């Protein structure tokens, strides 16, 4: 009964909707589930999140199966025409799934657009080696106990290792940061268990590269924290601020002298730049420039004139027709009053320019 009420309620939403999907495995039953969450802004300008379904997934997580389940949900809730974006992690099955409904749904429903914001998968040989070391410890209660004992002897807080998982955003950053904090005690564990751990623990040179790498990953970690917050607007100020900041920092690293930083920064920069240019740049212009905190500060000087011109065109497109009554704003001066009589557009354009220049 409750599900039927939910279906009716969701189907009556005429606003744009974004979806997030994830596949997770129960630690108790080991069963896999596809989670689909709907995000939208209601008529009171409140961000709403709603779990549409939690579907058991049997067998391998092939793209065709995931796509089929996703299509069933969209059809059941009658929201196909409202979808603005689909956000997934960067698992290969989810990437394939993301591309497949974009093609299939476009044939079945009108005005259907899927946008894929991918996770970042960038693990070099040094990180793989560290990851194997973490796996070895994490999967062994004996090694975990020994690590805890060393922490007690050294009067260091015991921190359980964090595993790097390709499809989990920032897990590489979390794993490295945790191992940097535990480097001293982990080294003691490795030297007292050379046969099992000696070849897996990074060398001094490898640690230097790893520590340089984590600096490159930090902007993406900070970006995820800010953009995943439900308390702050994302599309306008934050997304442009975050991407401009990431591009600046990554450009700095890819011009540097450290080979590891250059290689990783270049790969991340190119990936993010492609998605920024394809999906986010144009769509975030209006909301960014209308934000009273940033206005034109997030744009280059060469782009401001063109952007304001487009904003003026957009503003005019929302004006009522000439034969309709136009609510008049309080007159600030006699001069503006007569200018308003002679040329309404002039006043409107000046208002936009005044707003953007403050």
Task: Look up residue 168 and give its two tokens.
Answer: 């989990």
CA distance 185 to 214: 20
Q: What would be the CATH architecture of the domain defined by 2-108?
A: 2-Layer Sandwich (3.30)
CA count, 13 A, side-chain hemisphere, 155: 0
Mean pLDDT of 74-92: 73
Higher-pLDDT residue of 215 and 103 is: 215
Mean pLDDT of 132-143: 94
Each domain of the chain, given as residue ranges in start order, spans 2-108, 125-202, 217-286, 300-357
- Of the pLDDT bands very low, low, confident and very high (cuts 50, 70, 90), residue 116 is very low
DSSP 59-115: SS--HHHHHHHHHHHHHHHT-GGGEEEEE--S-HHHHHHHHHHHHHHHHHSSS----
Per-residue pLDDT of 26-36, as tens digits, reads 767 777 888 88
3-state class (DSSP) for residue 1 = coil
In terms of average pLDDT, the best of 43-57, 83-97, 248-262, 277-291 is 248-262
* Residue 140 scores a pLDDT above 70: yes
Mean pLDDT of 195-206: 92
pLDDT of amino acid 114: 38
Task: Look up residue 135 and give its two tokens.
Answer: 């796996």
Per-residue pLDDT of 145-187, as tens digits, reads 999 999 999 999 999 999 887 666 688 899 999 999 999 999 9
Strand order, beta sheet including 32-41:
47-57, 32-41, 17-25, 83-87
Higher-pLDDT residue of 247 and 286 is: 247
């Amino acid at each position: 009964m409750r599900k039927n009420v939910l279906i009716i309620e969701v189907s009556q939403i005429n606003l744009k909707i974004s979806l997030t999907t994830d596949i997770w495995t129960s630690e108790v039953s080991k069963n896999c589930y596809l989670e689909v969450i709907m995000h939208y802004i209601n008529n009171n300008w409140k961000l709403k999140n709603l779990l549409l379904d939690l579907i058991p997934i049997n067998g391998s997580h092939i793209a065709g199966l995931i796509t089929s389940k996703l299509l069933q949900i969209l059809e059941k809730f009658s929201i196909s025409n409202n979808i603005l974006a689909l956000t997934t992690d960067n698992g290969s099955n989810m990437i394939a799934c993301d591309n497949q409904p974009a093609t299939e749904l476009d044939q079945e429903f009108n005005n259907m657009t899927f946008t894929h914001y991918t996770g970042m998968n960038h693990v070099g040989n040094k990180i793989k080696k560290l990851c194997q070391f973490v796996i070895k410890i994490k999967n062994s209660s004996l090694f975990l106990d020994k690590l805890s004992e060393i922490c007690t002897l050294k009067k260091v807080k015991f921190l359980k290792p964090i595993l790097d998982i390709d499809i989990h955003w920032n897990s590489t950053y979390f794993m490295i940061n945790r191992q940097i904090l535990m480097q001293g005690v982990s080294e003691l564990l490795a030297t007292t268990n050379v046969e099992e751990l000696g070849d897996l623990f990074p060398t001094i040179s490898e640690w230097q590269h790893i520590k340089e790498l984590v600096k490159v990953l930090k902007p993406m970690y900070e970006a995820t924290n800010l953009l995943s917050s439900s308390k702050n607007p994302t599309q306008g100020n934050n997304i442009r601020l975050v991407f401009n900041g990431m591009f600046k920092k990554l450009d700095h690293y890819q011009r540097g002298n450290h080979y590891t930083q250059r290689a990783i920064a270049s790969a991340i920069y190119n990936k993010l730049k492609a998605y920024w240019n394809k999906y986010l740049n144009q769509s975030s212009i209006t909301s960014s420039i209308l934000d009273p905190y940033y206005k034109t500060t997030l744009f280059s000087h060469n782009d401001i004139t063109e952007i304001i011109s487009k904003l003026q065109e957009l503003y005019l497109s929302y004006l009522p027709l000439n034969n309709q009554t136009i609510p008049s704003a309080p007159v600030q001066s006699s001069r503006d009053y007569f200018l308003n009589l002679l040329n309404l557009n002039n006043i409107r354009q000046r208002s936009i320019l005044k707003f953007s220049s403050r």
